[in-house]
Chains A and B, each alone.
Chain A
Amino acid sequence: MSAVMSAPSVRHVAIAGNPNCGKSTIFNALTGLRQKVGNYPGVTVERKEGRFYGSHGEPMNLLDLPGSYSLQVRAPDEAVSRDVLLGREPGTPQPDAVVVVVDASNLERNLYLVAQILDLHLPTVVALNMVDMAERVGIRIDVPALAEELGVPVIPVVATQGRGLVELKQTLSRQSLALPAKRPPMPEAIEAEVRALAEQLPVDNAVAFPEALLLLTLHDQTLDDLAEHNAEIVQATLAAQERLRAAGLDPLSALVEARYEWINQVCERTVHKPDAGPGLSVSDRMDHFLTHRVWGWVVFLGAMTLMFLSIFTLAQIPMGWIDSGVHALGGWLAGQLPESQLRDLIVDGAIPGVGGVLMFLPQIMILYFFLGLLEDSGYMARAAFLMDRVMSSVGLHGKSFIPLLSSFACAIPGIMAARTVENRQDRIATILIAPLMSCSARIPVYTLMIAVLLPTTSALAKAGMMLGLYLLGIVMAFVLAWIFKKTLLKSETSMLLLELPPYRKPSLRSVALCMKERASLFATRAGTVILALSVLLWALATYPKPANPDATRGEAIAQSFAGQMGRALEPAIRPLGYDWKIGIGLISSFAAREVFVGTMAIVYNVEGDMKEGTTSLRDTMRAERRADGAPMFTPLVCVGLMVFYVLAMQCISTLAVVRRETNSWSWPLFMVALYTVLAWVGSFVVFQGGHILGFQ
């Protein structure tokens, strides 16, 4: 993990805050485009860091901690913020200062995290964000009094307009950053136990107290996980907890209530709230409509339709540019480079392979434009609110809805979005079913097979067929989720804690940054994994070279390694009505599903541009005969093949992401096995069952 820089003089600042407090906006406003996104080692928590310059031009490093309501650790992934703040996250220096962002219009709950961070006893600055929103609803905050009460500097900020950022930087640039002047009070009995426990900890004095405090409030389950590491300390902690409980004090509850008691006092002295009037806020009136039992669904379905229409139609134009750009580049290079194996590798392997995947960049960017807009405006939380009941029928969560939605464009951003699902079992279930949402890479395959099946019918019938394939994937996903949650991923129904923030005008800057970030992650993958795979596939389809130099491309591929693999695969796929040529297509689809179309064009030796070639490829495939003269692509084979593509797990990039997100090889391997069996059985049922019922 190479930090942005590591000169000893550089000040490290961590930025923490609740979800929806505007922390990312402040982070983006401070660091601009000087950001780096990565992962913490071993866990699936995203690590975002950037550089900004203090008031004397000195560089500072800003680390964005995951947004959370509490530092209480409930799962291993959640330990990251705590470990960073305590200076024991490998590869991340302990921050010299912490900026806690709080939402001025929602001060009470936001101060809870502040109280926890003050207990860590690090130099702290509170950024009081969205003061304009608070003022608009009549909330007045006495900032100097708040700073006095908290014992740390408080800087009023309006991050969306850049207000207060200069003051924030000035405060962080001070020669020496003061430690908090106060600590939130806690019950005496707890404080005594914390001090006693702190003395037993084998750590530096400065972190012993906060460490002991966090230990004492840990839940039994989490303590059990720790027991392997240090049984003695776990014993001491359990004994202390037992003593407190015997005295009628549940450590965590007592501490939380003491903190909120303190927060009440702080707010009473510093916040002036208007008397609640009878009128409803604008946000409330919007919610009345947007979560209405009829209009709520109309708007929801309308928003989803608009999003998908844009992904599938608007994106066509830039996709066409990329396609022709890639072709032009390939053609130009073919003319420039001397004839050689290297030229073939570049022109026939690398460029079409990477280009075929880069084609989807516009769709991904449009998807993130909409997701960013929905998230930033506050609507996404309402979508989860509406959908939670539907998702809970199969044991999932309203929050799983967003990852599944993203998976219709591409499973990779979908699987990454599953990070917002807190419960590990639910998150894995969401990841497992995400690839069943028909991604945009299946569209070319569906389009080709529908064209072969129904060459002359109306566009409406074709659209109906397409919709049917999408529905098949969705239904299978729900059935599997239900089974997973009953068996492999059995867990108590997880808890939903979904904040419904007030609606606000989305910031186009945030949306644009989010699009840029996702686009570059996607492009990086195309330039690495996909590039390597394309070269491998090209080699498989090229070598060994045919003895006869005049052999057509179709003949050449027939005796290549890919052809041999197709033949080896044939016995396994013959019951589905497929031959070895389709087998080659299936194998090549592992790089990316849409490669199927290009491979079929090569196998059936259809020359010409892939787009214009679709018509001729369709006719060639319709004319293809088996050895006995019967047509190859009967309706049952076509439908079976489409079902196969709905269900099969044929995307190596997805598997790589699943491996990273679950931190194990077992889940991706399980997915390959399960979905291959499922696709085979689905296709078998269509082909053999159809025959029994008398279809062709």
Chain B
Amino acid sequence: MSCSASALPENSVSLVALAARQIARITGFDLPPDRRARLLEMGLTTGAQIQLIRFAPLGDPVEIEVRGYRLSLRKREAAGIRVACI
């Protein structure tokens, strides 16, 4: 799938900027430490592959696939996950 940003971490984009079904790699977080820690424990570690699956019918939350399972997050947190497209 095509990706607008380059693969360089400096050019990473926010997870919510991805199109549905687009695959990317996590490069970092703009989130408070406690929230970041919870995402880390759910397997959203730097370097992990992540796919945006869909937005809920009312626009929020968002469904993602990471480490082979589906997780739903609010856009607020998803926006703080920085990714680089593959």
Contact = CB atoms under 8 A, between A and B. Distances in A.
Same complex: yes
Interface of A: 69-70, 72, 74, 105-109, 112, 219, 221, 250, 252-253, 256-257, 260, 273, 287, 291-293, 296-297, 381, 385-386, 388-390, 392, 398, 493, 495-502
Nearest to A381: B72
A94 to B, nearest CB: 25
B58 A390 contact: yes
Nearest to A20: B69
Contacts of A499: 69-72
B74 A108 contact: no
Given A257-B45, A257-B46, A500 B71 contact: yes
A501 B71 CA distance: 8
19 contacts: A69-B42, A72-B37, A74-B34, A219-B33, A219-B34, A252-B37, A252-B40, A253-B36, A257-B45, A292-B57, A297-B57, A386-B56, A388-B56, A388-B74, A389-B58, A495-B73, A496-B72, A497-B39, A502-B70
B29 to A, nearest CB: 9
A344 B17 CA distance: 72
B61 A385 contact: yes
B67 A109 contact: yes
Given A386-B57, A497-B71, 13 more contacts: A112-B43, A291-B54, A291-B56, A291-B57, A293-B57, A385-B63, A386-B56, A388-B74, A389-B56, A389-B60, A499-B72, A500-B63, A501-B69
Contacts of A385: 56, 61, 63, 72
A196 B77 CA distance: 36
Nearest to B37: A252
Top 5 A-B pairs ranked by shortest CB distance?
A: A389-B58, A500-B70, A293-B57, A108-B67, A498-B72
Given A389-B56, A389-B60, A495 B37 contact: no
A390 B61 CA distance: 11
Nearest to B78: A496
B51 to A, nearest CB: 10
Most buried by B among A297, A392, A495: A495
B61 A106 contact: no
B49 to A, nearest CB: 10
Given A389-B56, A398-B61, A253 B37 contact: yes
A112 B74 contact: no
A256 B45 contact: yes
A250 B63 contact: no
B73 A389 contact: no
Contacts of A495: 35, 38, 73-74, 77
A34 to B, nearest CB: 33
B25 to A, nearest CB: 14
Most buried by A among B34, B58, B71: B58
Nearest to B66: A109
A392 B74 contact: yes
Nearest to A106: B69
Nearest to B36: A253
A72 B39 CA distance: 13
Contacts of B41: 69-70, 72, 112, 256
Contacts of B74: 388, 392, 493, 495-496
B63 to A, nearest CB: 6
Contacts of B57: 291-293, 296-297, 386
Interface string B50-86: 0000101111110100011111111011000000000
Contacts of B58: 386, 389-390
A495 B39 CA distance: 10
A257 B42 CA distance: 11
B40 A257 contact: yes
B52 to A, nearest CB: 13
B36 A498 contact: no
B35 to A, nearest CB: 6
Nearest to B77: A495
Nearest to A422: B38
Interface string B9-43: 00000000000000000000000011111111111
Contacts of B77: 495-496
Contacts of B39: 497
Contacts of A107: 68
A496 to B, nearest CB: 5
Contacts of A496: 61, 72-74, 77
A296 B76 CA distance: 23
Most buried by A among B33, B36, B48, B67: B67
Contacts of B46: 257
Nearest to A256: B40
B53 to A, nearest CB: 8
B79 to A, nearest CB: 13
A231 B67 CA distance: 40
A291 B72 CA distance: 12
Contacts of B33: 219, 250
A69 B67 CA distance: 14
Contact of B45 (A69, A219, A260, A501): A260
B54 A497 contact: no
A500 to B, nearest CB: 4
Contacts of A398: 61
A221 B37 CA distance: 14
A105 B69 CA distance: 9
A112 B69 CA distance: 14
Contacts of A493: 74, 76
B42 to A, nearest CB: 6
A109 B42 contact: yes
A287 B65 CA distance: 13
A191 B23 CA distance: 35
Contacts of A69: 41-42
Contacts of A392: 60, 74
B74 to A, nearest CB: 5
A284 to B, nearest CB: 8
A392 B69 CA distance: 24
Contacts of A106: 67-69
A398 B56 CA distance: 12
A422 B48 CA distance: 26
Nearest to B71: A499
A257 B45 CA distance: 6
A293 B45 CA distance: 31
A44 B83 CA distance: 39
B59 A389 contact: yes
A109 B50 CA distance: 13
A72 B34 CA distance: 11
A498 B76 contact: no
Contact of B37 (A219, A381, A389, A390): A219
A513 B70 CA distance: 28
A421 to B, nearest CB: 15
Contacts of B73: 495-498
B16 to A, nearest CB: 14
Nearest to B32: A492
Contacts of A74: 34, 38
